[in-house]
Amino acid sequence: MKVAALYDIHGNLPALNAVLNELKKIQPDLIVVGGDIVSGPMPRQTLERLIQLEYQIHYIRGNCDREVVMAFDNIPLRSDMSAKGSELTHWVADQLTHSQRDFLSTLPEHIKIYIDGLGDFLFCHATPSSDEEIFTPITSQERLRNLFNNIESEIIVCGHTHIQFKKHVGSKHILNAGSVGMPFADSPGADWLLITSDGYEFKRTMYDTQAASQLIRANGGPQADEFVEKNVLTVPPINKSIEMLELMAKNQ
């Protein structure tokens, strides 16, 4: 059995298309889309692309998907959201159709899948109990135990922090799939996770970032230029991103 875990696409359609082209060769039995699907420069087109696929796909709701539905429904967003975050969330909501809003609103927070040879996997967006809780490659074992000790599944797949890494806490294995559309990494690309009966592999798919930048800019929308400069042509480096995320985690 082959499972492709695609997390944190963030409306980056060119990055998604590059991964899907690679999956044509791999032919996975299942794709898990791990949340934060649309919050980015090409939201409507990204969701349309996924829904049209003929693969078997399971979806999980991310925190940004939840916030987009709130904006669509004119529900106030959290008070500490930045002005840029609020602007983007409302713009993304305005791009979606009502059926797309309904699709996002019904997504589960986590799913369990049995993979032959490996056992039960729990797929969640951030942690099993929260779609926005932060942990990183340097998070302490004590905190990890608090987050994952009551989970029955031995293998947990998550995303949210946009960094590919693995952690062990007790007998449990925690895999962060990284981000297809906004990776925190050493170089540009689209990050995802491939799971087979033999194990797992962190994957990076390269794509034409210049062509992607042109397409994203042509689509318009707020912060399109900034998205291109910070997430397509270049990406946030891992070490600085970990420092930022750890500070955010302390304030949660």
How far CA 38 is from CA of 28, 29, 142, in Å, comes to 23, 24, 34
Q: Nearest to residue 63, comparing CAs of 29, 30, 38?
A: 38
In contact, 215 and 12? CB cutoff 8 Å: no
Q: SS3 for 161?
A: coil
Position 252 pLDDT exceeds 90: no
CATH architecture for segment(s) 2-250: 4-Layer Sandwich (3.60)
Average pLDDT over every residue of 183-204: 97
Q: Which sequence spans correspond to the domains of the chain?
A: 2-250
Cα–Cα dist 39/64, whole Å: 6
Q: Name the DSSP class of 224.
A: H
**Residue 149: its pLDDT value, please?**
86
Please provide residue 43's backbone torsions phi and psi, each rounded to the nearest 5 degrees: -70, -50
Helix (H) or strand (E) holding 17: helix 13-26
**Residue 37: its pLDDT value, please?**
99
- What pLDDT, in 10s, does the model give residues 164-193? 999 999 999 999 999 999 999 999 999 999
How far CA 83 is from CA of 59, 78, 108, 179, in Å, comes to 28, 11, 28, 23
For residue 92, the one-letter residue type is V
- What pLDDT, in 10s, does the model give residues 81-130? 999 999 999 999 999 999 999 999 999 999 999 998 889 999 999 999 99
Question: Any alpha helices (H) in 164-233, and if so which ranges?
Answer: 209-219, 224-227
